[in-house]
Homo-oligomer: A and B are copies of this chain.
Amino acid sequence: MTIQNAIADLSSLLGDRLQCSKAELEAHATSEAHFPTTPPDAVAYPLTTAEVSQILQICARHACPVVPWGTGTSLEGHALAIKGGISLDMGRMNKLLEVHAEDMDCVVQPGLTREELNQALRTTGLFFPVDPGANASLGGMAATRASGTTAVRYGTLRENVMALEVVLADGRIIRTGSRARKSSAGYDLTSLFVGSEGTLGVITELTLRLHGQPEAISSAVCAFNSIEDAVNTVITTIQMGIPMARIEFLDRASVRAVNLYSAAGLPEQPHLLVEFHGSPAGVAEQAERFGEIVADMGGSGFKWSSKTEERNALWDMRHKAYYACLALRKGSTALVTDVCVPISRLAEAVRETRADIDASPLPGPILGHVGDGNFHAILLVDPQKPDELAQARLLAGRMAERALRLGGTVTGEHGVGMGKLDYMRSEHGLAWDVMAAIKNTLDGGGILNPGKVVENEGDNRTVATK
């Protein structure tokens, strides 16, 4: 019952699709965030669901941890094999299996990325709207309940996954949901696996909801004197029922960063970046009504455009904001953290967080998906100075506690992984025990992504020794 025995059996099963080279292990040892390099013991590349099932049966027999891997772009260390074992790289199961244009859905393998899917859908008039920034795999996006800039209009992966095929820890293959738009036939297992971060099963197939490519798109930028004015603009816009496709907030520090990095040329004030999707007349009307609200709130510099180039430049700037922030401090790495609060408490949450970061020696721009009440702090630390990371952790911890105090959640979209485990008890109370009970029911041996979501420091599950 050791990881090495599992590797021997997996090697017989997979041949050269079971890799133990230094390069392979290192490629599955890091994430885009600040966590220490954590190589797995081996990397497996399954090609079929049946093979995933066999892999899990072998790993269950040897109590060998299995950590599913998509593109490694998650931000809380989700895909790191912190208890050793196998990194299960789904990258070769990356086919677009079916497109049902009339039903506006498609069936994909988990390794397909969202950009690959949208590229393939280009001529169908349909698209998959959820956009977390990174070109993540769709399996990874489902596993982490990803969202991003467009969730305010189209929802998160929770709203856009219709059905799943999942391999359980014991190798059983189940299907949840169907291609019907709705169902009340029993427990919503699809929603249970979406966001379970690989701890309850391995997603091997997804049925995704698609949306019509908007006939027209307009976008706009505007500056405000205060965070409150920007947030109140968003609240009024939502209450008036103006359907925004994206509405992003940048604080002064973020604006400084994108000015330096992307030569954005924006005044150093809090900004909103918005996008509208609809008919040509519809987006014009929406942009104009939004402009009136901006004027009422004392906003300035409002202009809207339906020109593709201007729009692309805007969202390119936004998508590079993370790298723009990193460039504020040469050689830095970032502790990126997110929280989500009811929108009525958002200004308060951002203002207090801003003051807390400003009182620390660390630079930390704030930006976010303000229509959902979701915002991020990018805390820049010198990787050579462990005390800075410790300080960033304290700031992130206070952000999480603040979010809970204001009726929100410790993570709106980044997930739990390792980074938010310490706040799960505070957020969920006894409900965290229910999560642990479900985990124990579906993965009694604790082989699926151990140490994440439901398990904390005091964890005493047994996993195999090497």
Whether a CB of chain B sits under 8 angstroms from the CB of A229 is no
* Bound Cα distance A421, B334 (Å): 52
Q: Chain A: interface secondary structure?
A: loop
Q: Which residues of B contact A420 (CB under 8 A)?
A: 185
* Bound Cα distance A181, B345 (Å): 12
Partner of A442, one of B145, B174, B372, B437: B437
Establish whether residues A180 and B341, one from each chain, have CB atoms under 8 Å apart when the complex forms: yes
Q: Which residue of B lies closest to A76 (CB)?
A: B184
Establish whether residues B342 and A105, one from each chain, have CB atoms under 8 Å apart when the complex forms: yes
Interface residues of A in 331-381 (CB under 8 A from B): 340-344, 372-374
Q: Which of A80-88, A236-244, A303-311 contacts B (4 or more CB under 8 A)?
A: A236-244
A400-427 to B contact mask, C-beta < 8 Å, 1/0: 0001000111111111100010011001
* Bound Cα distance A241, B453 (Å): 38
Whether a CB of chain B sits under 8 angstroms from the CB of A23 is no
* Bound Cα distance A424, B183 (Å): 12
Establish whether residues B214 and A343, one from each chain, have CB atoms under 8 Å apart when the complex forms: no
Whether a CB of chain B sits under 8 angstroms from the CB of A434 is yes
Q: Known contacts A174-B434, A238-B104, A281-B285; decide if A428 and B342 are in contact (CB<8 Å).
A: no
Partner of A179, one of B179, B211, B407: B407
* Bound Cα distance A101, B344 (Å): 9
Establish whether residues B411 and A185, one from each chain, have CB atoms under 8 Å apart when the complex forms: yes
Query: Count the A residues whose beta carbon is within 8 Å of the partner chain — how many?
Result: 91
Whether a CB of chain B sits under 8 angstroms from the CB of A118 is no
Most buried by B among A104, A182, A188: A182
Whether a CB of chain B sits under 8 angstroms from the CB of A51 is no
Interface residues of A in 172-226 (CB under 8 A from B): 172-176, 178-189, 191-192, 194-196, 200, 211-212, 214-215
Establish whether residues A184 and B102, one from each chain, have CB atoms under 8 Å apart when the complex forms: no
Interface residues of A in 429-446 (CB under 8 A from B): 429-432, 434-435, 437-438, 440-442
A80-101 to B contact mask, C-beta < 8 Å, 1/0: 0000000000000000000011
Establish whether residues A147 and B413, one from each chain, have CB atoms under 8 Å apart when the complex forms: no
Nearest CB of B to A241, in Å: 4
Q: Which residues of B contact A430 (CB under 8 A)?
A: 172-174
Most buried by B among A184, A372, A454: A184
* Bound Cα distance A330, B459 (Å): 66
* Bound Cα distance A211, B241 (Å): 8
Q: Known contacts A189-B434, A241-B215; decide if A182 and B340 are in contact (CB<8 Å).
A: yes
Establish whether residues B144 and A414, one from each chain, have CB atoms under 8 Å apart when the complex forms: no
Establish whether residues B239 and A180, one from each chain, have CB atoms under 8 Å apart when the complex forms: no
Most buried by B among A104, A195, A407, A431: A431
Establish whether residues B181 and A411, one from each chain, have CB atoms under 8 Å apart when the complex forms: no
Establish whether residues A239 and B104, one from each chain, have CB atoms under 8 Å apart when the complex forms: yes
Partner of A186, one of B180, B182, B189, B416: B416
7 closest A-B pairs by beta carbon, nearest first, are A191-B191, A183-B409, A102-B344, A180-B340, A174-B431, A180-B408, A212-B241
Q: 16 new A-B pairs (CB below 8 Å) besides A103-B344, A175-B428, A185-B411? A: A102-B343, A147-B182, A156-B182, A158-B182, A174-B429, A176-B431, A178-B427, A180-B409, A181-B372, A184-B413, A186-B195, A186-B416, A187-B195, A189-B435, A241-B278, A437-B442
Could you jot down 11 A-B contacts, CB within 8 Å? A100-B344, A102-B344, A104-B239, A147-B182, A181-B342, A182-B340, A185-B415, A185-B424, A215-B241, A282-B285, A437-B442
